[in-house]
Structure formats: C-alpha cells, structure tokens
Amino acid sequence: MHSEQNSAIPMADKSRPSTLIVYLYVPNILVRYVRILMNCFAFAISYKDKYLFSVLYFVRISTACLPTYYTQHPIHPFFVSVSTFGAVLDMVTDRISTACLLVILSQVYSPGMIFLSLLALDIASHWLQMYSSFLVGKASHKDVKDSSSWLFKLYYGDRKFMGYCCVSCEVLYIVLFLLAESQTDNLTEVLVNAATRSWLYLTLLSLSFIGWVIKQIVNVIQMKTAADACILYDIGKKR
C-alpha cells in the first residue's frame, strides 16, 4: 500500500530549468539587466548632466533589439534563450523609462498636462493590449492579425516601421528635454524657436514628429481594440 502511494506521487521534472537559470539567461544578463542599471543611472543624473543623460537614454533605446538578435544569431547554444520573462521585462523597462521621461517633461514645460496625458495613454493602451491578448489565448500581444485596422497590423507586423515610430517618440522627448531651459517653458514657443533657429533641429523634429503622431494613433487604436476584446470576452461568457 505504501509503495503504491509513493508511485502515485508525480516525479519532479529534472529536465525543467529552475527559475534561477531563466534569470541568468545570457541575453538577460548582457543586455536587459545592463539596460535597467543604465536607466537608473541616467535618471539619477538627468538634471545634473542633460547631455550624458540623453546619450545613456538613447543607448538604452538602440540596444532594445539585442536580446532578440542574440537569440536568433547565437554564438553559443546558451544564447538560445527565448523567455516570456525577458519579453515582459523589455516591455516593462521601456514603459517605465518613457513614463519617467514624460513625468520630467511635465515638470519643465507648460502645459504639463500634455505629457501626463501621453503617459496615461501609453500605459493604458499597452496594459489593455497585454491583458486582452492573454485573455483570448494569444501567445503575444503583438499578434494582431485579426485586427480590422491596417495601420495597427502594419505597426506590429513590420519591425522596421514599429522601430521608427518608437524611436521617433523617444528622440522627440529627448530633444524636448535638451531644449528645456527652465521650469516655465512654453512648449509651443520652444518648438517654434528651435525649428527656426537651426535646420538640424527642424529636420530632427519633423522626422520624429511624424513617427510620434503615428505612434499615438496606434496607441488609441490599440486601446480601443483591446477594450473591445475584453467586452466581447465578457459577452461570450454569458452566452
């Protein structure tokens, strides 16, 4: 009887990696954790050295795709380490970084509510999209093949297009931070003065503004689509 009870107890799956191993995946160590530390240091010195902050912040943006690159082009078998944790960590890190920068901009520009509204839209759209995707059983929040919006599908279907929009937003926010001189700057006046003062600023602001506008439109579409998915899920359960 005792032996039968012991045999009924499921054996531990020794082939399953421990949580520590996932935390120590090479892309996590070499890129993700370094990006987080870089972020913390950048914001710690943001008011003391705006230019160093901008460089560190931009480096963090430009290294966002490295974990995926290491996984797809491994130089060692240990680099093949796709994990849900890593994907979620990337998204959380990016959202927190953008949120912190928007909060800073809301303190140095008038009206600051513009940046706080952008912060609310960014968080709400991504959280709803993430939640609704897993609610309906999708493996990734980037799976939008069933969407009726061509722009939404283009955004998540074309990495280069999505990268342009995301980088444009961050570059625009960095430039605005560099242009700010006091805590009472009027946003419109600063943009006009910068555009008329230098062709470099005019070009940079124009290119980044286009991507920024597209990104905000996608955020609105994403929030509406995800909200609809949640409502349809509730309707389906009641039937």
Positions marked active-site = 94
The residue with tokens 């625009």 is 172
User: Among the residues of the chain, which ranges form H helices?
Assistant: 2-8, 19-23, 26-27, 33-44, 50-62, 66-72, 84-108, 113-135, 150-157, 159-179, 187-197, 199-238
Return the amino acid letter for 231: I
Quick one: tokens of 66?
């490295």
Q: Which string of DSSP letters, residue by residue, matches 36-101?
A: HHHHHHHHHTTTT-HHHHHHHHHHHHHTTTHHHHHHHS-SSGGG----HHHHHHHHHHHHHHHHHH
Residue 46 phi, psi (nearest 5): -60, -40
